[in-house]
């Protein structure tokens, strides 16, 4: 277990947090959440859910672009950034999805567009399958929606669980998260981030509590169960794929497309796993175009 001092503290570490003016804290589903809201209150709601090891900073440039047309809600997932961690018994994909659904009920927000990056897309898919949300469009940005291939599907979660259960591991990782280490980690995703983006990841990864939140997520991830249920996903789904993604193979999206009825793939060449941070204008345009197309079919989203 990590202590409060092992986690990022808003008063100490959030002074220059991206889009800080949009931040607030709410208590829901047994947790205190850090959320950000921007855009017109009467606009259709758009939900942003980051991936493992990230936080609201991941949307620092994309969220304001989307706020011109939507009421944008972003959040730090449990155990990430400035949001409380889930207890071990709820550290699972269904547990994370249920917690997020509880937050949305508390806020009385029913997202019309749900955008998830990597593991965030898996949370949104599970939440939609369980009735925790019924968006008109689900956008998966380099979504981690299927198990790793071959032996990795067994080894990766098992290794994460071993590391998570060892209380020393997050501290060692945090102590070693210097600038060079974070640069190597980001390069390993196939993305090229600017100095500010790298500094924000380094700020989070030097806290053992944040690292433990990321490891806990991976340790209890059951993507095989999600994969079995994907054919039941009735939400129109757009799979946005960075062609240079090294974290989730771009080819995976085409396999997922065949498993989700009516799903579409949009390939973004020369971008990696963090495409929305590398090229926020490009990703915003893709989301807005898909939202307008969905509105034309369903007649339900008022996108300008």
Q: Which CATH number fits domain 4-298: 3.40.50.1110, 3.40.50.1820, 3.20.20.220, 3.30.1370.60?
A: 3.40.50.1820
Question: What is the average per-residue pLDDT within 117-145?
Answer: 96
Rg (CA), the chain: 18
CA 232 to chain centroid: 22
CA 11 to chain centroid: 24
Tokens of 137: 């469009």
Question: How crowded is the C-beta side of 163, counted as CA atoms within 13 Å?
Answer: 22
Say if residue 226's pLDDT is above 50. yes
Question: What is the average per-residue pLDDT within 233-240?
Answer: 97
Give the start-to-end residue ranges of the domains of the chain.
4-298
Nearest to 60 by CA among 223, 246, 284, 228: 284
- Distance (Å, whole) CA 102 – CA 100: 5
Question: What is the average per-residue pLDDT within 90-117?
Answer: 96
Beta bridge partners of 31: 28
Least confident of 75-84, 107-116, 213-222, 288-297: 213-222
Question: Percent of the chain, pLDDT > 90?
Answer: 72
Say if residue 2's pLDDT is above 60. no
Tokens of 96: 């994370």
Query: What is the three-class DSSP state of 250?
Result: helix
Supply φ then ψ for residue 130, to 5 degrees.
-90, 0
pTM: 0.92
Going through the chain in order, the beta strands assigned E by DSSP cover: 23-28, 31-38, 45-49, 71-75, 113-117, 137-141, 237-242, 264-268
Question: Percent of the chain, pLDDT > 70?
Answer: 86
- Distance (Å, whole) CA 148 – CA 157: 10
Question: Which one is predicted more confidently, 269 or 222?
Answer: 269
Residues 138-186 have pLDDT tens digits of 999 999 999 865 434 443 454 444 444 445 555 655 667 677 878 888 8
What are the angstrom distances between the C-alpha of 304 and each of 86, 96, 165? 38, 32, 48
**What are the residues whose beta carbons fall under 8 Å from the beta carbon of 16, sequence distance 6 or more?**
none
Buried b (16+ CB within 10 A) or exposed e, 103-135: bbeebebebbbbbbbbbbbbbbbbbbbeebbeb
Q: How confident is the model at residue 15 (pLDDT cuts 50, 70, 90)?
A: very high
**Cβ of 244: how many Cβ atoms within 10 Å?**
18
Say if residue 111's pLDDT is above 90. yes
Q: How confident is the model at residue 221 (pLDDT cuts 50, 70, 90)?
A: confident
Q: Looking up tokens 């969905």, which residue turns up?
A: 294
Burial class (CB in 10 A: 0-12, 13-18, 19+), 282: middle
- Distance (Å, whole) CA 111 – CA 136: 8
- pLDDT for the residue 170: 58
71-75 vs 45-49, strand pairing mode: parallel
């Amino acid at each position: 277990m990590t202590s409060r001092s092992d986690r990022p503290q808003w008063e100490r570490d959030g002074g220059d947090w991206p889009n800080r003016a949009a931040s607030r804290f709410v208590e829901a589903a047994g947790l205190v959440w850090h959320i950000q809201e921007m855009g017109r209150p009467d606009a259709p709601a758009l939900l942003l859910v980051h991936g493992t090891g990230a936080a609201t900073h991941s949307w620092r440039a994309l969220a304001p672009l989307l706020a011109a047309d939507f009421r944008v809600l972003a959040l730090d997932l449990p155990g990430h950034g400035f949001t409380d961690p889930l207890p071990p018994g709820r550290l699972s994909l269904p547990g994370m999805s249920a917690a997020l659904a509880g937050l949305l009920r508390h806020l009385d927000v029913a997202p019309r567009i749900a955008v998830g990056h990597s593991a965030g897309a898996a949370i949104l898919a599970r939440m939609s399958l369980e009735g925790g949300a019924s968006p008109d469009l689900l956008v998966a940005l380099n979504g981690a929606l299927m198990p790793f291939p071959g032996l990795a599907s067994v080894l990766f979660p098992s290794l994460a669980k071993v590391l998570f259960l060892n209380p020393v591991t997050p501290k060692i990782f945090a102590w070693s998260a210097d600038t060079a280490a974070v640069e190597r980690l980001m390069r390993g995703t196939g993305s090229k981030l600017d100095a500010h983006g790298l500094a924000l990841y380094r700020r989070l990864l030097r806290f053992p509590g944040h690292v433990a939140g990321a490891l806990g997520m991976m340790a209890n991830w059951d993507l095989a169960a999600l994969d079995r249920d994907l054919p039941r996903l009735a939400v129109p789904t757009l799979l946005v794929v960075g062609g240079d993604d090294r974290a989730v193979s771009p080819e995976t999206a085409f396999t997922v497309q065949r498993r989700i009825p009516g799903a579409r793939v949009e390939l973004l060449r020369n971008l990696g796993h963090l495409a929305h941070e590398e090229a926020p204008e490009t990703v915003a345009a893709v989301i807005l175009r898909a939202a307008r197309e969905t509105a034309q079919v369903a007649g339900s989203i008022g996108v300008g």
